[in-house]
Amino acid sequence: MVEVLKSSSTISQDDTVSWHLVAALVENKPGVLFRVTNLFRARSFNIESITVGSTEQVDLSRMTITTKTDEKTLDQLVKQLRKLIDVVEVRVLETTKSVYRELALIKMKADKPTARMEITSYASIFRANILDIDKDSIMVEITGTPDKIDAFKNLVNSFGIIQLARTGVSALPRGENI
Amino acid sequence: MDMLGAEALIKALEKEGVDIVFGLPGGANLPIYDALVDAKLRHILVRHEQSAAHMADGYARIKRKAGVCFATSGPGATNLITGIATAYADSSPMIAVTGQVPLAMIGKDAFQETDIIGVANPCTKYAFQPRSVAEIPETVKKAFYISESGRPGPVLIDIPKDVQQAREEVSFPSLIKVRGYNPIVDADLSQLERAVQAMMKAERPIIMAGGGVILSGAFSELQALAELLMAPVVTTFKGKGSFPENHALAMGPIGMHGHAEANKIIIEADCIIAVGARFSDRSVGRFDEFGKGMTIIHLDVDPAEIGKNKAADIAVVGDVKSSLRTAVKMLTKYKMAKRTADDPWLKRRKELIDYYADSIKDYPRELTAKKALKKLRELLPPSAIVTTEVGQCQMWASLHFDVIAPGTFFSSTGLGTMGFGFPASIGAKAARPSSIVVDIAGDGSFNMTENSLAVSVLDKLPVIVFLMNNYMLGMVAQWQRTFYKRRYMGVHQQNCPDYAKIAEAYGAQGLRAQSLEELDTALKKAMNTDVASVIDISIDPEEDVYPFVAPGTGLKDMITGA
């Protein structure tokens, strides 16, 4: 179960707003994602992405939430999440002490041999995989931090992006951190 | 043990000590009603589900344990929602049990199907949908645990009809655990120590008592703290009655329609001790202005309230009764020098009270809301339970009706639900039949749930509706006078219906009062009868509620109307 939510940014881009990774362990049962996203909507928390998937424990799912927000709102977001009965644990992950990745599928125009050559070489530099090619287009799979995906996207933008799908970020803390 | 789902529900409720449920049957909860026939539970039939939820809420606020209401699926369930949202906004424990269409019909847009789990989500602590009989006992136990512990609130249990009527082997657990729910009870001692040090250091401390004090029953602890610190006590509106309002340190409620002296003194303090309060906009005005330059100590059971509206300098998370008890012990140990009556801060308290007593003029009429409420206080025993409707009547009650015995007053303070007071007063009467129960009402609100007169009469739960009738939606009219140049729209209810006749039609006692003398007679008559009474008290449509802190302004901008 993977879902990406993009919400419009209402928070001004001032100095106090920064990017945060929030990890939550939640009960693996129906309705939990609804409760979490409904909370974000009701309290106007600005979410960049949210991913949910199974974990090493059958009855728990791991949720990774990314958000651009100020510290005060982040504090409320975490506290309100903790109040949800189905949310077992919530932590703000420090980016330097965590590994976080996103996957993107990008289909772009490649109707000329030179374009195909160029895209293929960029893909190899970014360690992206070519998933599909037909006479007019190429589909690439790229995994990395959101920044890396943004960089690749900007690089290939000039070829003409036909379709793009991003999964949102999944994250785990490094080492023994829970 | 083999039993039907509906029987398992009733048995589980009885095991939780439930003695009364408020509800209305329909297609999808018929099996539950069939099981009620053989149950020891008392069922109170309402005439609209909203009132069932308000009655359960009123019951809960007096018993300090969850009230229970029943409704069928679809419209029955959605009719409960206003009452559930009211309980949620005021952190009142409640269990709402709704019928649902059979499992196989869910998601098929069946007759009277509503996704009530989805609808209820933002206004419940949790919503369950047991999908087998075996799940019911555990679900009920978890529902009560979640509803009553920590910061209380409503929990919904939605039971599909086929689950109600299936027969299965069930067992009733004595212990349950909810992994993601661990309400904090005991406060961090080092934080409490810091709080106590700050309280002792303060020259002008003020206690701001909120609804949390009432919810945790921390009345004597609060009083002990106030008396040790010799600190004036203001309350939020929800906290009204957490502290005896005739006490020498009492200042009454703050806020949009707070007592003038309370609004004034809190902005002069150097340390605010907020106990079980959430710094709502109606209480504190502008968040950025309130408490500026003061030390804010915040005691609350809900960690999410810390820093939500107002940053605290010292936060103590835990049940406020236990936190206060520990704080009092610490303070006693430190043997703080007592503030005496000539202390400048206590003198200032007296000065403000005297100043506003002289400067706020009474509305020039023989029978005003203020005089009516003073008369009510004069005649009622301190043990009487008082609730209110919403609007001017509610704010007048806040200003002019002093609560003497802690915990005998409540109102829909968070959601501000018109029509709450009357059914809630019936719930309170069911919780404590020995007390006189009064609903301080206005014509606008009472009209919304007046059909609960049938319940009051038939179920012998007599209450007194103290109806201050200004023939208007008075608070809206006041705002239209104040902010919209008297351009009235949609506020004239006129003299319709005749409330005394309405009361008579239901078999209740209908009384009228046009003067203070008539009110005196009517009240005495109402207090000496065993049937519900509606006293239609005629007041002037132009009488405003003052003081007034306009929305979006700070407490310092209070208009006293003088």
Across chain B, what does the average pLDDT equal? Answer: 96
Work out whether strand B233-235 and strand B42-45 pair parallel, antiparallel, or are unpaired. unpaired
CATH at residue A35: 3.30.70.260
Q: Residue B404 has what DSSP assignment?
A: -
Inter-chain contact B121–A80, Cβ cutoff 8 Å?
A: no
Cβ separation B118–A34 shorter than 8 A: yes
Same domain, A73 and A120: no
Q: How many other β-carbons are positioned within 10 Å of the β-carbon of residue B16?
A: 17
How many distinct helices (H) and strands (E) make up chain B?
A: 22, 20
**Is residue A133 in a domain?**
yes
Computed over every residue of chain A, the mean pLDDT equals 90
* CATH number for position A143: 3.30.70.1150
Q: Under an 8 Å CB criterion, which residues of A touch B?
A: 26-27, 31, 34-35, 38, 42, 72, 75-76, 79-80, 82-89
Per the listing, tokens 């012990």 go with B329
Residue B562 lies in a domain: no
- Asked whether residue A164 is domain-assigned, the answer is yes
**pLDDT tens digits, B137-186:** 999 999 999 999 999 999 999 999 999 999 999 999 999 999 999 998 89
The answer to whether A55 and A64 have CB atoms below 8 angstroms apart is no
Residues 6+ apart with CB under 8 A from B488: B477, B480
Of residues B442, B395, B400, the one with CA closest to residue B420 = B442
Domain of residue A139, residue span? 99-173
Q: Specify whether A23 is located in the same domain as A47.
A: yes
Does the active-site annotation cover B49? yes
CA distance B460 to B440: 20
Q: What is the C-alpha radius of gyration for chain A, rounded to an integer number of angstroms?
A: 18
Are B264 and B393 part of one and the same domain? no
**Do both B338 and B399 map to the same domain?**
no
Alpha-carbon span A44 to A85, nearest angstrom: 20
Name the residue in chain A with its Cα closest to that of B146: A85
Distance from CA of B91 to the nearest CA of A (A): 14
Question: Hey, of B124, B145, B308, which one would you mutate to test binding to chain A, going by the most A CBs within 10 A of its CB?
Answer: B308
Q: 């407490």: which residue's tokens?
A: B555
Taking the C-alpha atoms of residue B29 and residue B73, their distance in angstroms, rounded to an integer, is 7
The pLDDT of residue B185 is: 83
Nearest to B68 by CA among B80, B79, B78: B80
Of A68, A93, A118, which residue is a domain's last?
Answer: A93
Q: How far is B102 from chain A (nearest CA, A)?
A: 18
The total number of structural domains in chain A stands at: 2
* A65 and A86 belong to one structural domain: yes
Residue B234 C-alpha, separation from nearest chain A C-alpha, in angstroms: 27
**Whether the Cβ atoms of residue B155 and residue B123 lie closer than 8 Å to each other:** no
Give dist(CA A81, CA B304) in Å, integer.
Answer: 9
Tens digits of per-residue pLDDT, B334-366?
987 778 878 999 999 999 999 998 777 888 899
Domain boundary (A67, A93, A119) is at A93
pLDDT above 60 (res B82): yes
* Paired tokens of B173: 């657990």
DSSP secondary structure string, A52-94?
EEE-SSTTEEEEEEEEEE-HHHHHHHHHHHHHSTTEEEEEEEP
Range list of H helices, B217-301: 219-229, 260-268, 281-284
Domain check: are B144 and B269 in the same one? no
Domain final residue pick, B139, B168, B197: B168
Q: Are residues B348 and B368 in the same domain?
A: no
According to DSSP, the β-strands at B295-300 and B314-317 are parallel
Q: Which residues constitute the domain of residue B402? A: 361-545
Asked if residue A105 belongs to a domain, the reply is: yes
Q: Is the pLDDT of residue B120 over 90?
A: yes
Q: What is the b/e burial string over B497-528, where b = at least 16 CB atoms within 10 angstroms of the residue's CB? A: eebbebbeebebbbbbbeebebbeebbeebee
From chain B, which residues contact A within 8 Å (Cβ)?
Answer: 117-118, 121-122, 125-126, 146, 178-181, 302-304, 306-308, 311
Of B230, B256, B448, B475, the active-site residue reads: B475
Starting at the edge strand found earlier in the chain, the sheet holding A98-109 runs A129-133, A137-144, A98-109, A161-173
B269 pairs with which residues across the strands?
Answer: none
Residue with tokens 């945060």: A20
pLDDT value at A159 more than 60: yes
Q: How far apart are CA B79 and CA B101, in angstroms?
A: 17
Say yes or no: B507 and B421 in one domain.
yes
pLDDT at B528: 96
Q: Mean of the pLDDT values across residues B379-393?
A: 98
Is B243 labeled as catalytic in the residue annotation?
A: no
Out of A93, A109, A125, pick the residue that ends a domain: A93
Rounded to a whole number, what is the distance in Å from the CA of B308 to chain A's nearest CA? 7
* Mean pLDDT to the nearest integer, B383-401: 97
Same domain for A33 and A51: yes
Same domain? For A128 and A167 the reply is yes
pTM (two decimals): 0.94
| Same domain membership, residue A60 and residue A22 | yes
Q: Do A38 and B121 touch (CB under 8 A)?
A: yes
Q: How many domains does chain B have?
A: 3
Q: Is A68 inside a domain boundary?
A: yes
pLDDT at B315 (0 to 100): 97
> Is residue A12 in some structural domain?
no
Residue A4 lies in a domain: no
**Residues B222 and B154 placed together within one structural domain of the fold:** no
Residue B112 appears among annotated catalytic residues: yes
Please check whether residues B143 and B196 belong to one and the same domain.
no
Answer whether A76 sits within 8 Å of B304, measured CB to CB.
yes
Query: Looking at residue B306, which CATH number applies to its domain?
Result: 3.40.50.1220
Q: How many CB pairs under 8 A join A and B?
A: 37
Residues B524, B401, single domain; the answer is: yes
* Partner-chain contact B307 A76, CB within 8 Å: yes
ipTM score for this prediction: 0.91
Contact A38/B122, CB-based, under 8 Å? yes
Per-residue pLDDT for B561 more than 80?
Answer: no
Which of A42, A83, A88 is facing B179, going by the closest CB pair? A88
HSE of B239 in the Cβ direction (CA atoms, 13 Å)? 31
Question: Would you say residue B177 lies in a domain?
Answer: no
- CATH for B102: 3.40.50.970
The string of DSSP letters for B122-163 reads GGSSEEE---SGGGHHHHHHHHHHHHHSSS--EEEEEEEHHH
Establish if A178 belongs to a structural domain: no
Residue B262 lies in a domain: yes
Q: How far is A175 from chain B (nearest CA, A)?
A: 25
A88, A110: one domain: no
Task: Answer yes or no: is A72 within a domain.
Answer: yes
Query: Is residue A114 located within the same domain as residue A73?
Result: no
pLDDT at position B481 over 70: yes
